[in-house]
């Protein structure tokens, strides 16, 4: 187990822990395992205790006896910090460790926001820009991106014929872990500029500076560890709404947003977060007339969760038209492997093959024809989602002193290619993906 896996465990919520444990076996089975562990521990304790009844050092006199336990305590304490889980835990907080980076990001964001300067103030059309962050969606299993027998994403697939949509079938995640991927996606830090998070600005601060009213609406729970990463970014927005229900509940929050203003709205979905069957409401299963299938059919329930996300995206797109909607971006944090889910070690490329599509309204395309032209020209380009900050800077028409035009899909200077594209925070090359 590496430090990123430990980070996932520390960042988990009771609901997520229950989802995971219940996928391992039935509740009676888990109870039996727990009972066996407790019984084993008590037996071991009893056995050691019997051994301790005989004094080992009877010849030590007066205060000399205290030396031995102190020496033992010192070596045992030192040893404990070098083995799992203490060693991994200390790694998280070491210099350049992920948790240290999140703490530094939180501390430095106000300072970096003061340094942030827009290159030019370009008038933006009234209306909203929407970013939907998906969860654990792998484009290999999405019919809008892959030639597969099941139509898992019917609405998105139909949008491929629409001239207002731009699809990117070679998009990748920067890291197969939610908090690690999103902190780079939504800040100016990326794998190519190697800028540490502590020197970065976030997309919510940029959008506010460009005159947008900002919203963060999430169906992912807040946790103390995620607080150090994603929630820090969410808190930079003007309005935050945290929901517990299924993803379609965000539509009620969307309906409350006043029309006619310049809004930048981020939706963070539960998407296909493990367990997949828990992501699909029963009412949706019935509406689709889907057969009652065993919850252990992981691949099938994963496809159903993608189908449900497709339905949620369609509804967001339609409901946002009244704002009016000027641009919409859908991208996943990372992909998913049916056997290993998503981990840094062992790593597989399906954990980072993600969907990305962008919508531009007809009025947006009329106002900024060069954006449409560049997005179309780059449809077959390799993209890694740590470049989202720069691409959104382009869509929001808000380049700044933290912006890199070589990382922006809307720029003619975009230069991420198969040869230089990276993932796993620079440790793997996209060129080594057999499907790239």
Contact set with Zn ion (CB under 5 A): 135, 178, 333
Can you tell me the distance from the alpha carbon of 432 to that of 421, in angstroms, rounded to the nearest whole number? 10
State the nearest-atom distance from the C-beta of 387 to Zn ion, in Å.
Answer: 18
State the nearest-atom distance from the C-beta of 305 to Zn ion, in Å.
Answer: 13
Helices 98-115 and 178-185: crossing angle in degrees, nearest 10, is 20
Residue 141 contacts residue 152 (beta carbons within 8 Å)? yes
Residue nearer to Zn ion on the CB measure, 1 or 60: 1
**166 strand-pairing partners:** 358
Residue nearer to Zn ion on the CB measure, 183 or 326: 183
Can you tell me the distance from the alpha carbon of 172 to that of 169, in angstroms, rounded to the nearest whole number? 9
DSSP 3-state assignment of 41?
helix
Can you tell me the distance from the alpha carbon of 361 to that of 288, in angstroms, rounded to the nearest whole number? 30
As given in the structure block, the two tokens for residue 253 are 């929050």
Residue nearer to Zn ion on the CB measure, 220 or 374: 220
State the nearest-atom distance from the C-beta of 398 to Zn ion, in Å.
Answer: 27
The pair phi, psi for residue 246, each rounded to 5°, is -70, 165
Sign of the C-alpha dihedral, residues 362, 140, 185, 18? positive
Can you tell me the distance from the alpha carbon of 53 to that of 55, in angstroms, rounded to the nearest whole number? 6
Can you tell me the distance from the alpha carbon of 166 to that of 328, in angstroms, rounded to the nearest whole number? 10
State the nearest-atom distance from the C-beta of 134 to Zn ion, in Å.
Answer: 9
Residue nearer to Zn ion on the CB measure, 141 or 333: 333
**239 strand-pairing partners:** 215
């Amino acid at each position: 187990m590496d430090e990123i896996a430990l980070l996932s465990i520390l960042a988990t919520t009771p609901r997520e822990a229950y989802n995971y444990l219940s996928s391992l076996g039935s509740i009676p089975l888990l109870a039996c395992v727990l009972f066996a562990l407790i019984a084993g521990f008590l037996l071991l304790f009893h056995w050691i205790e019997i051994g301790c009844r005989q004094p080992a050092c009877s010849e030590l006199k007066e205060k000399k006896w205290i030396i031995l336990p102190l020496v033992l305590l010192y070596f045992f304490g030192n040893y404990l910090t070098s083995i799992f889980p203490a060693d991994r835990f200390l790694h998280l907080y070491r210099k350049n460790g992920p948790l240290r980076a999140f703490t530094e990001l939180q501390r430095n964001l106000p300072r970096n926001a003061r340094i942030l300067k827009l290159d030019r103030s370009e008038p933006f059309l009234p209306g909203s820009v929407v970013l939907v962050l998906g969860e654990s969606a792998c484009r290999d299993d999405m019919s809008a991106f892959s030639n597969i027998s099941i139509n898992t994403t019917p609405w998105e697939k139909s949008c491929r014929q629409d001239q207002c949509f731009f699809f990117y079938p070679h998009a990748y995640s920067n890291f197969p872990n939610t908090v690690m991927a999103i902190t780079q996606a939504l800040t100016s830090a990326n794998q190519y500029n190697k800028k540490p998070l502590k020197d970065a600005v976030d997309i919510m601060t940029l959008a506010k500076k460009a005159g947008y009213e900002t919203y963060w609406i999430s169906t992912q729970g807040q946790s103390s560890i995620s607080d150090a990463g994603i929630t820090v970014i969410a808190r930079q927005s003007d309005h935050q709404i945290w929901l517990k229900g299924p993803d379609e509940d965000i539509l009620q929050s969307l309906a409350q947003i006043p029309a006619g203003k310049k809004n930048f709205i981020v939706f963070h979905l539960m998407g296909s977060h493990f367990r997949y069957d828990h992501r699909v409401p029963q009412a949706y299963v019935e509406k689709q007339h889907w057969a009652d299938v065993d919850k252990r059919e992981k691949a099938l329930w994963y496809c159903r969760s993608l189908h449900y996300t497709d339905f949620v995206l369609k509804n967001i797109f339609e409901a946002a038209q009244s704002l009016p909607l000027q641009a919409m971006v859908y991208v996943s944090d990372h992909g998913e492997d049916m056997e290993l889910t998503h981990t840094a070690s062992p790593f597989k490329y399906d954990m980072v093959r993600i969907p990305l599509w962008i919508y531009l309204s007809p009025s947006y395309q009329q106002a900024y024809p060069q954006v449409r032209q560049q997005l179309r020209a780059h449809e077959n380009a390799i993209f890694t989602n740590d470049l989202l900050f720069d691409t959104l800077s382009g869509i929001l028409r808000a380049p700044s002193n933290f912006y890199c035009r070589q990382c922006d899909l809307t720029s003619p200077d975009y230069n991420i290619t198969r040869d230089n594209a990276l993932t796993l925070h620079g440790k793997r090359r996209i060129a080594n993906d057999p499907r790239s």
